[in-house]
Amino acid sequence: MSVSSIDPAQSALSAPEPSTFGEEGEAAKEIQGRSPWQLAWARLRQDKVAIGSAVVILLITLVAIGAPLIAHLVGHGPGDTYPFIGEDSYGLPIGPNRTFLLGADDLGRDVLVRVVYGARVSLIAGVVASALAVLAGGIVGMLAGYFGTAVDTALSRFMDVILSFPLLLFAIALVSLVGPSLTVSIAVIAFFSWAVVGRIVRGQTLSLREKEFVEAARSLGASDLRIIFVDILPNLVAPLIVYATLLIPASIVFEATLSFLGLGVVPPTPTWGNMLSDSLPYYKVAWWFMLFPGGALLITTLAFNLLGDSVRDALDPRYARLFKA
Amino acid sequence: MGAFLVRRVLFGLLVLWIISVVVFVMFFVAPHDPARLLAGRQATASEILAIRHNLGLDRPILEQYGSWVWKLVHGDLGFSYRGSVPVRDLLGSRIPVTASLAFGAAVIWLVIGVGAGVLAAIKPRTIADRLVTFFALFFYSMPTFLLGLFFLFFFFFKLYTAGFHLFPGSGYVNLKDDPLGWADHLILPWFALALVTAAVYSRLTRGTMLDVLGEDYIRTARSKGISEGRVIVRHALRSALTPVVTQFGIDLGALLGGAIVTENVFGLPGLGQLAVQSISDQNLPVIIGIVIVASLFIVVANMCVDLLYAVLDPRVRLT
Amino acid sequence: MIHAVAPGSAPQDSDVLVRVDDVRKYFPIRTGLLRREVGRVHAVDGVSLEIRKGETLGIVGETGCGKSTLARCIARLYDLTAGTVVFDGRDISRLSRRRMRPLRKGIQMIFQDPIGSLNPRRRVGSIIGDPFAIHGISRGEDRKHQVQELMRVVGLNPEHYNRFPAEFSGGQRQRIGVARALALRPKLIIADEPVSALDVSIQAQILNLLTDLQDEFGLTYIFIAHDLSVVRHVSDRIAVMYLGKIVEVASVSELYARPRHPYTNALLSAVPVPDPDQADQRERIILVGDVPSPINPPSGCRFHPRCPKAQNLCTEVDPPLEVKKDDRAEHVAACHFPVEVGEKLSRARAGIAQPERQAAVEVSHEAVEGAIGPKEKT
Ligand SMILES: Nc1ncnc2c1ncn2[C@@H]1O[C@H](COP(=O)(O)OP(=O)(O)O)[C@@H](O)[C@H]1O
Ligand code: SF4
Ligand SMILES: [Mg+2]
């Protein structure tokens, strides 16, 4: 068989065979093997909002890690009460001064030290709960989407049911039975967040499964396991990262809410949520008691939301940014 | 439409059934003595025995479940161990408060969210758009209870000390006793609860509105000389509302959760305050009652939203 | 041209690489909570074919007629609803996925979409190296050398080993797909519309590459396309498909000289003719209506609602694929009233009512003279 029989009039088919590699005019780009990750990273590095929020998150993380050091420097432990120097003669918390840089709380404890320790709980709860939710949602969503049929129907219905549960109330019910703790909070948050991730991952797997590159892998004899890990998973990593960064602030808020309601980490361990709860009766006399934990909480969630938005933008510029006009 | 309705109601019933099983297992089967829990902390051994007998805990599990559900269906939620009030009556007195809070907040969040979204969409990349974006991010990152605290501090306390006695800091009055007082007591809680969620709606509306405004039929409508206001309200807004309705269904659970939190900030005597109190009292019949009633509300409301959605967008009936 | 078989003689068994016998693939349509089956897409509905060693069999037919499904059935990417596929003397139609695995080395596919068929998150080197990895043939530096050699063979720069698919142009991406298909030195390559998504100016390059590779490696091709002009230049024989069935098979020259099935005639009349004089002379056959749904295919001959020669018999009896009078042994057609040489199909009038006539009026009043208009009932 040869192509010499091509009708010369069909110029379309008789274009000369080029000898060069950079065929068809559209010259191959000069960038050498820049992966989609590298491109995203490059975009992220040019994004001032992303840099700013990443720096803030980094600082908060450092502060959380260095909490004992800060406590040592200040000279007050997170649970130490100073009824005489931390409260005035009426027993009310005293405001910011040289000993208590951010003031004291209702029991005469150092607000600065407690806010710093509170960051630990928030970050751990936010990161761990999001990681668990993304992991569970990713696995379940991928299985449902990839294997389809009965597995899919069962898992999808299960996720639908979870999504129609009144979360906070079930969290309340659960905590009332097993008693509050950080572990319970994390479990509750993860349990009620994974289904959202699962639903999205399922949808994306479903469309990836129909892609020709999966068909190609199958025609080469690849096993399901290989297809899942080599062909599907790498395409899910980007959305999973985006969901993780957006889940973290949501989980932090959830944890703070549980703590605020007395359903989270048990006092005297300081969390931003239980500090705010303690501050509620004192908001008229001790603004610092409310402002500093509240401000720390808000700054943290803001930073994570901004970063998540930038990450989404960098990974897939086609998405509309949530918070950028 | 009929088939869709049947399917949707069946799914709602399925969810309710699952919730009943989960609650039953959590409270009655889990490895702890429900009689002891239900009796409260100070109960004596004989009281516990009596309760165990009353609850029929000696009977087989399935039978217990059956009779429990039977009572639930007939509105029998048992008695609060505090003062032996029927849980049903207790909840009955609290529901109007939570309902007032949730309903008002939902209206505000839809109006503000959609309104801000439309504003941002018709003038994209202007100061107005950027302001809306900024506030959306700000409120989106803000925990409901924190916003409530800030409101208390600024709009109640600071105004009060400055001599403006505009809003009360806490409490509740009945709608039919004093409608103005009712609204006055609720206005801060309403906004605290609404603004956080309104943020999401403004982004959602802005995005879909921008998409819709770019479409051909809108351009056609404009080129026909139809006024801009009419184009936006009649054509664009209509399409933009569909995702808002879906999102609203998803957010009903969040609305209720937010109401619980808000009640505890503003001292509103609703279900949320009762729930938190009941936990510190270990008052399980009340907790169970609240979970069941709230689930019922969410499932039914979700169903209504889905049906509304099916009316707005006929395609969903097929799936 | 590689002709393993003398024209006109029935192929010997040893010459046949693939024998497809009455293959059917139906996709169930399910709805509702219980996933009840409410119908079936008859995507491939009784196809029998032989592909001989070293030849290129072209398969043509409109989009949606079941070409890709047939290809996936032959490559056993789908389980067959019915029928058998014998590859290289071995019945593979019921093999499990595991048992099929070693045989996959022998059958490879090239896909239509140069973007969709390459995983965007993986480097080209690892994509082309996939076959080696999956079958445990080589690893490390060894594999890299093999992959780079393949890249050279298909005309890619081996130095681009570490690039990502997005950094290549459409034609280059299709070369990557070719390299991947070639890696295991298959006996059969099924190319499913390999150039349909490419610019016309690039199509010839890929076609030439495929032809060269066939000569070099002694490959057998099944070459799928939706129009005749592409397959014509690469195929030895052509099978014409309509709505899940093969309606005519012949060598290229036979098919062009003596198209017997009315559908083949219509397809041929749609091939652009470069010479304007010739174009004027040639009759244009405009078909009535649209392709019917494969969910409820028409009774009898599936082409009857659109066929200009349809008679009552056609609505009742499905015509078998057989050698028609005066044709060579390898030229088969499925038609009760095959088109004779010199017959003007554009003048033919169907003897049955064809429901899409209204649509046809609109088409034909703009169409060139001689188009098949609806017959006015007189
Ligand atoms: N996985 C599938 N499920 C249901 N229907 C399908 C599936 N794949 C293809 N079909 C249907 O089968 C018919 C043949 O499709 P296909 O083989 O892709 O045609 P072609 O490749 O000739 O364009 C079409 O009607 C298509 O809609
Ligand atoms: S069998 Fe009848 S309907 Fe079918 S192609 Fe031949 S003439 Fe046309
Ligand atoms: Mg196809």
Q: What is the pLDDT of residues B41-72, one digit of tens each?
A: 666 777 777 776 776 666 777 877 888 888 88
Q: Which residues of B23-40 are buried (b: 16+ CB within 10 A; e: fewer)?
A: bbebbbeeeeebbbbbbb
Question: Angle at CA A76, nearest 5°, toward A73 and A82?
Answer: 150
Query: What pLDDT shows up at residue C9?
Result: 46
Q: In sequence order, what are the residues at sequence separation of 6 or more whose Cβ sits closer than 8 angstroms to the Cβ of residue B181?
A: B173
Q: For residue C56, is it left (φ>0), alpha (ψ between -120 and 50) or beta?
A: beta
Residue A126 to residues A169, B79, B124: CA-CA distances in angstroms? 20, 38, 34
Evaluate whether C4 touches C16 at the Cβ level (below 8 Å).
no
Distance C301 CA to ligand 2 centre (A): 6
State the pLDDT confidence band at C359, using cuts at 50, 70 and 90: very low
Query: What pLDDT shows up at residue A18?
Result: 38
Q: Say whether A21 and C156 touch across the interface (CB within 8 A).
A: yes
Query: What pLDDT shows up at residue A240?
Result: 85
Ligand 2, atom nearest to C336 Cα = 1
Identify the bridge partners of residue C18 per DSSP, sorted by sequence position.
Answer: C51, C87
How many other β-carbons are positioned within 10 Å of the β-carbon of residue C9?
11
Q: Say whether B23 and A261 touch across the interface (CB within 8 A).
A: no
Q: What is the CATH number of the domain that holds A256?
A: 1.10.3720.10
How many other β-carbons are positioned within 10 Å of the β-carbon of residue B200?
21
Average pLDDT over residues C72-84: 94
Query: What pLDDT shows up at residue C279?
Result: 54
Distance C244 CA to ligand 1 centre (A): 10
* B15: exposed, middle or buried (Cβ count in 10 Å: 0-12, 13-18, 19+): buried
Distance B169 CA to ligand 3 centre (A): 68
Residue type, C66: G
How far apart, in whole angstroms, are the C-alpha atoms of residue B113 and residue B93?
31
The domain defined by B90-313 carries CATH number 1.10.3720.10: yes
Query: What pLDDT shows up at residue C4?
Result: 42
Average pLDDT over residues C136-146: 89
- Choice between B242 and A297, residue whose per-residue pLDDT is larger: A297
Cβ-Cβ contacts under 8 Å, A165 against chain B: 15, 19, 253, 295, 298
Distance C90 CA to ligand 1 centre (A): 27
Residue type, B3: A
Cis peptide before C297 (omega within 30 of 0): no
Residue B86 carries which DSSP code?
B
- pLDDT tens per residue across span A188-215: 889 888 888 888 888 888 888 888 899 9
Cβ-Cβ contacts under 8 Å, B136 against chain A: 323
How far apart, in whole angstroms, are the C-alpha atoms of residue C120 and residue A34?
12
Which pairing describes strands C82-87 and C90-91: parallel, antiparallel, or unpaired? Answer: antiparallel
How far apart, in whole angstroms, are the C-alpha atoms of residue B180 and residue B178?
6
Percentage of chain C beyond pLDDT 70 is 86
User: Chain B: nearest CA to A36, how far in angstroms?
Assistant: 26
Closest CA to B87 of B269, B272, B282, B290: B290
A138-152, B220-234, C219-233, C362-376: the lowest-pLDDT one: C362-376
State the pLDDT confidence band at B141, using cuts at 50, 70 and 90: confident
How many other β-carbons are positioned within 10 Å of the β-carbon of residue A318?
6
Cβ-Cβ contacts under 8 Å, A13 against chain C: 200, 203-204, 207, 229-230, 233
- pLDDT tens per residue across span A63-115: 989 888 887 887 777 777 777 676 667 767 776 777 766 777 777 677 788 88
User: Chain A: nearest CA to B298, how far in angstroms?
Assistant: 7
Those chains having 3 or more beta-carbon pairs within 8 angstroms of chain C are: A
Does the structure show a pLDDT above 50 at C204?
A: yes
Ligand 1 lined by C296 (C-beta under 6 Å): no
- Choice between C158 and A89, residue whose per-residue pLDDT is larger: C158
- pLDDT tens per residue across span B2-40: 677 787 788 888 888 888 888 888 777 655 666 666 666
Query: What pLDDT shows up at residue A86?
Result: 64
Mutate which of C302, C307, C311, C345 for ligand 2 pocket (most atoms within 8 A of beta carbon): C307
Residue B154 carries which DSSP code?
I
Evaluate whether C321 touches C246 at the Cβ level (below 8 Å).
yes
Q: Atom 12 in ligand 1: which residue has the minimum CA distance?
A: C43
Evaluate whether C64 touches C291 at the Cβ level (below 8 Å).
yes
Structure tokens at C266: 């219509």
Q: Say whether C157 and A14 touch across the interface (CB within 8 A).
A: no
Query: What pLDDT shows up at residue C218?
Result: 92
Mutate which of C25, C26, C41 for ligand 1 pocket (most atoms within 8 A of beta carbon): C41
Is A11 a member of any domain? no
Does the structure show a pLDDT above 70 at C265?
A: yes
Query: What pLDDT shows up at residue C3?
Result: 43
User: Chain A: nearest CA to B251, how far in angstroms?
Assistant: 10
Q: Atom 6 in ligand 1: which residue has the minimum CA distance?
A: C27
Does the structure show a pLDDT above 70 at C32?
A: no
Which pairing describes strands C36-52 and C16-31: parallel, antiparallel, or unpaired? Answer: antiparallel
User: Chain A: nearest CA to C57, how far in angstroms?
Assistant: 12
Q: In sequence order, what are the residues at sequence separation of 6 or more whose Cβ sits closer than 8 angstroms to the Cβ of residue A174?
A: A184, A188, B26
Interface of A with C (CB under 8 A): 1-3, 5-7, 9-10, 12-15, 17-18, 21, 23-24, 26, 28-29, 31-36, 149, 153, 211-213, 215-222, 226, 230-231, 234-235, 237
- pLDDT tens per residue across span B279-319: 877 777 888 888 888 888 888 887 887 777 777 665 554 44
Query: What pLDDT shows up at residue C274?
Result: 61
Which pairing describes strands C188-192 and C245-251: parallel, antiparallel, or unpaired? Answer: unpaired
Give the three-state DSSP class for C74: helix
Of A13, A36, A235, the CB nearest to C204: A13
Those chains having 3 or more beta-carbon pairs within 8 angstroms of chain B are: A
- Choice between C264 and B170, residue whose per-residue pLDDT is larger: C264
- pLDDT tens per residue across span B241-269: 777 887 787 777 778 888 888 998 888 88
Closest CA to B288 of B14, B3, B59, B90: B90
Closest CA to A67 of A257, A248, A270: A270
Residue C277 to residues A13, C258, C268, C274: CA-CA distances in angstroms? 21, 21, 17, 9
Of C1, C117, C274, the CB nearest to A212: C117
Structure tokens at C48: 């029998």
Is A108 a member of any domain? no
Query: What pLDDT shows up at residue C179?
Result: 94
Percentage of chain A beyond pLDDT 90 is 17
Closest CA to C38 of C27, C23, C22, C49: C27
Evaluate whether B99 touches B92 at the Cβ level (below 8 Å).
no
Identify the bridge partners of residue C91 per DSSP, sorted by sequence position.
Answer: C86
Closest CA to A296 of A46, A95, A126: A126
Q: Look at the block and give the residue holding tokens 């991928």.
A: A142
Query: What pLDDT shows up at residue C245?
Result: 94
Which pairing describes strands C220-225 and C322-323: parallel, antiparallel, or unpaired? Answer: unpaired
Ligand nearest to the CA of C316: 2
Among B27, B149, B188, B298, most A C-beta atoms within 10 A, so best to mutate, is B149
Q: In sequence order, what are the residues at sequence separation of 6 or more whose Cβ sits closer than 8 angstroms to the Cβ of residue A314?
A: A40, A41, A43, A44, A47, A50
Is A273 a member of any domain? yes
A302-306, B166-170, B174-178: the lowest-pLDDT one: B166-170
For B158, the closest chain A residue by CA position comes to A284
Q: Which of residues 274-303 of C touch A (CB under 8 A)?
A: 274-275
Question: pTM of the predicted model, to two decimals?
Answer: 0.78
Provide DSSP, B256-271.
HHHHHHHHHHHT--SH
Question: Angle at CA A145, nearest 5°, toward A143 and A147?
Answer: 60
User: Chain B: nearest CA to A194, how far in angstroms?
Assistant: 15
How far apart, in whole angstroms, are the C-alpha atoms of residue C226 and residue B57?
73
A114-123, A228-237, B291-300: the lowest-pLDDT one: B291-300
Distance C117 CA to ligand 3 centre (A): 13
For chain B, how long is the longest CA-to-CA vector? 83
Mutate which of C265, C322, C337 for ligand 2 pocket (most atoms within 8 A of beta carbon): C337
How far apart, in whole angstroms, are the C-alpha atoms of residue A57 and residue C43?
56
The domain tally of chain A equals 1
Q: What is the mean pLDDT of chain C?
A: 84
Average pLDDT over residues A173-184: 83
- pLDDT tens per residue across span C33-64: 566 778 899 999 999 999 999 999 999 999 89
How far apart, in whole angstroms, are the C-alpha atoms of residue C347 and residue C349?
6
Cβ-Cβ contacts under 8 Å, A283 against chain B: 149, 152-153, 157
Identify the bridge partners of residue C45 per DSSP, sorted by sequence position.
Answer: C24
Which H helix or E strand runs over C46?
strand C36-52
Distance C189 CA to ligand 3 centre (A): 16
Query: What pLDDT shows up at residue C364?
Result: 37
Query: What pLDDT shows up at residue C270?
Result: 77
Among A162, A177, A245, A258, most B C-beta atoms within 10 A, so best to mutate, is A177
Evaluate whether A282 touches A289 at the Cβ level (below 8 Å).
yes
Does the structure show a pLDDT above 90 at A59?
A: yes
Average pLDDT over residues B202-210: 82
Of B140, B290, B291, the CB nearest to A305: B140
Which H helix or E strand runs over A144?
helix A111-147
Secondary structure in 3-state letters for B112-128: HHHHHHHHHHHCCCCHH
Does the structure show a pLDDT above 50 at C344?
A: yes
Question: Angle at CA A160, nearest 5°, toward A155 and A163?
Answer: 125
Q: In sequence order, what are the residues at sequence separation of 6 or more whose Cβ sits closer than 8 angstroms to the Cβ of residue B73?
A: none
How far apart, in whole angstroms, are the C-alpha atoms of residue A192 and residue A129?
10
Evaluate whether C145 touches C228 at the Cβ level (below 8 Å).
no
Does the structure show a pLDDT above 60 at B122?
A: yes
Query: What pLDDT shows up at residue A26?
Result: 40
Residue C376 near chain A (CB below 8 Å): no
Closest CA to A113 of A48, A170, A63: A63
Ligand 1 lined by C64 (C-beta under 6 Å): yes
Average pLDDT over residues B88-114: 89
Virtual CA dihedral for A258, A263, A269, A270, nearest 10 degrees?
Answer: 30
Residue A22 to residues A19, A36, C155, C198, C205: CA-CA distances in angstroms? 9, 22, 10, 16, 13
Virtual CA dihedral for B229, B230, B235, B236, nearest 10 degrees?
Answer: 0
Domain boundaries, chain B: 2-73, 90-313
Is A37 a member of any domain? no
User: Chain A: nearest CA to B291, how far in angstroms?
Assistant: 6
Distance linking the first and last C-alpha atoms of chain A? 60
Phi and psi dihedrals of B124, rounded to 5?
A: -65, 145
Q: How far is CA C21 from the centre of its chain?
A: 16
Those chains having 3 or more beta-carbon pairs within 8 angstroms of chain A are: B, C
Average pLDDT over residues A128-149: 89
